[in-house]
Amino acid sequence: MGGGFAALRGALETAFDKVGWTGVEIVDVPVEVPDGGLDPVDILCPMGSTISGALMDATTPRMIQQFGVGLSGVDLPAAQERGLPVDNVSGAVSGNAVAVAEIALLHLLALLRRFEEARANVSKELVGEPSGRTLAGRTVGVLGVGDIGAEVIVRLRAFGAEPVGIGRRPRAETPRAAALLDDAHFHRVDDLTAALACCDDLVVACPLTDETRGIVGTAAFDALRPGGHVVNVARGPVVDKDALTAALRDGHLAGAGLDVTWVEPIDADDPLLAENVAVTPHVGGVTDTSYAGIATGFVASVERHLGRHVE
């Protein structure tokens, strides 16, 4: 389902072929049910789109399987009412977490080194401008210390930065966080503003839930040290868009890097893009290694739930 993610089809076809599945057809399904209805499918894959109860009824799937981790677009109560299994693919096992962590660092480094200005200065024949800032020595908050957040922390350390993890559960109940961070560098989400008060920058890597929707808002931005940056590789609505725009316009934030936006694709004329905002089109997990791993996990999940073959 959904537009974009062109490499998905090929990755899935390859993964199904490897295990000897035959007759698998991958089709696009519209989010809105047309008047004429829809043909039935065996598996619905959201890929960033919304799967409603109405869509489930129109396509009568046997399961819902995400190509990746996020299930925020799936009406889980509706699936439960219909007895539909819903599954995703672990970011740690597939390699997706590593890929997304890499793009988080790409955004943060590009903002600190003022990459867009540097590129523009090539055409202006300016040498030695602009002056940037080093990541080494900066304190970076990481909101969400699951698979992706943990990989971000590992990479921040490699650059000489000081990561501060912010998680939902106690540190002892978060294995990767417990291994990577001491108590002084770990905070609970309930303590978000206090955690950010010691941070220069913030990387958002938590799931989108009712509790996290809009959690990175005015209070969070105000808590960050002046002149910092926010990078979002989670889901757009975790960040309050109006608050982000205001923080950029008043200069408290120096810039933002977004691999996810509130509506995808983002409108090319969105006023937010007039600020110092770098956007990539949800490509954090779109690499050869990650897609191969996710596709393998996708097929394995389908086999667990539906058996060896789909009729």
In tens, the pLDDT along 185-201 reads 999 999 999 999 999 99
- pLDDT for position 134: 98
Selected catalytic residue, list 107, 168, 176, 235: 235
Q: What does pTM read for this prediction?
A: 0.86
- pLDDT for position 25: 87
Superfamily of domain 7-88+288-306: NAD(P)-binding Rossmann-like Domain (3.40.50.720)
Q: What is the pLDDT of residues 199-209, one digit of tens each?
A: 999 999 999 99
Q: What is the mean pLDDT of residues 267-271?
A: 96
Reference 71, options 168, 205, 169, 208; nearest CA is: 208
In the chain, ranges of CATH 3.40.50.720 domains: 7-88+288-306, 94-279
Q: What is the DSSP string of 270-299?
A: -GGGGSSEEE--S-TT-SHHHHHHHHHHHH
Q: How far apart are CA 116 and CA 108, in angstroms?
A: 13
Q: Is 275 a catalytic site residue? A: no
Angle (deg, nearest 10), helices 96-112 and 288-306: 150
Q: What is the CATH number of domain 94-279?
A: 3.40.50.720
Q: How far apart are CA 286 and CA 8, in angstroms?
A: 9
Q: What is the mean pLDDT of residues 42-60?
A: 89
H or E segment to which residue 306 belongs: helix 288-306
Q: Is 282 a catalytic site residue? A: yes
Q: How far apart are CA 160 and CA 197, in angstroms?
A: 20
Reference 100, options 65, 150, 160; nearest CA is: 150
Q: What is the mean pLDDT of residues 287-307?
A: 90
Query: Between the CA atoms of 130, 135, 141 and 143, what dihedral angle is there, to the nearest 10 degrees?
Result: 80
Q: Is 25 a catalytic site residue? A: no
CA 265, chain centre distance (Å): 14
For residue 124, the tally of other CB atoms under 10 A from its CB is: 9
Q: What is the mean pLDDT of residues 132-154?
A: 97
Sheet containing strand 86-87, strands side by side: 43-44, 63-65, 86-87
| Surface-to-core class of residue 228, CB atoms within 10 Å of its CB (0-12 exposed, 13-18 middle, 19+ buried) | buried
- pLDDT for position 20: 87
Selected catalytic residue, list 62, 114, 168, 282: 282
Selected catalytic residue, list 13, 264, 275, 303: 264
Q: How far apart are CA 65 and CA 46, in angstroms?
A: 8
